[in-house]
Amino acid sequence: MPATDANSSILCVRDIMTPRVHTLQLDDSVRSAARLFERERFHHVVVLERGRVFGVVSDRDILKVISPFCGDPILGRAQDEGPLKKRLHQIMTRKPTIIRPERSVAEAAEMMLTHRVSCLPVVDADETLVGILTARDLLAQLATPAQGEPPPSL
């Protein structure tokens, strides 16, 4: 069972966040992010500037800017490659909603719903990135029974 806040039985963000976060820089290309998403099979990358969270790019952000024919040897055209040369700062969500690791999972879910986002970069008191909490992390927590509980019926 995941650890909880020392003062209560409330599940905290640090208990279910993904500590290994993929990051890129402001001037990295859309192509580099697309390749990273394809290779690593995840949906969000945190954009850093001087070690601080500056933005977030999702796989959906990339799908919005690239042509569906990009990379297709038959239907692809030269101009389809142009958007892959854009820089992440051109397509990212700036000033993303962040959360601290000691906040409750319920607060995180509420923040995600309120701000209509599917991930929250997790930063410590020094604003250093320590993890990422995604909608998938929340769903995995709901789907995993607590110790002593029966598994959910499907």
- ∠ CA 154-119-37, rounded to 5°: 90
Residue 149 has pLDDT above 70, yes or no: no
Question: Model-level pTM greater than 0.95?
Answer: no
**Which two structure tokens, joined as six digits, stand for 96?**
């993303």
Task: Write the CATH number of the domain with boundaries 13-143.
Answer: 3.10.580.10
**CA–CA separation, 110 and 103 (whole Å):** 11
The predicted-structure confidence for 60-98, as pLDDT tens digits, reads as follows 888 887 756 566 556 555 656 666 778 999 889 999 999
* Predicted pLDDT of residue 24: 94
**Residue ranges of domains in the chain:** 13-143
Residue 154 has pLDDT above 50, yes or no: no
Helix ranges, 17-149 (H):
30-40, 59-65, 105-115, 135-143
Q: Compute φ and ψ for 16, nearest 5 degrees.
A: -125, -5
* Predicted pLDDT of residue 22: 92
* Predicted pLDDT of residue 5: 45
**CA–CA separation, 65 and 47 (whole Å):** 17
Of 95, 85, 91, 90, the closest CA to residue 127 belongs to: 95
Q: In this prediction, what percent of the chain has a pLDDT beyond 70?
A: 77
The predicted-structure confidence for 113-123, as pLDDT tens digits, reads as follows 999 999 999 99
* Predicted pLDDT of residue 62: 85
* Predicted pLDDT of residue 4: 47
Name the residue with tokens 């986002």.
117
Count of beta carbons in the 10 Å neighbourhood of residue 83: 19
Residue 46 has pLDDT above 90, yes or no: yes
Among 17-21, 64-68, 99-103, 110-114, the least confident range: 64-68
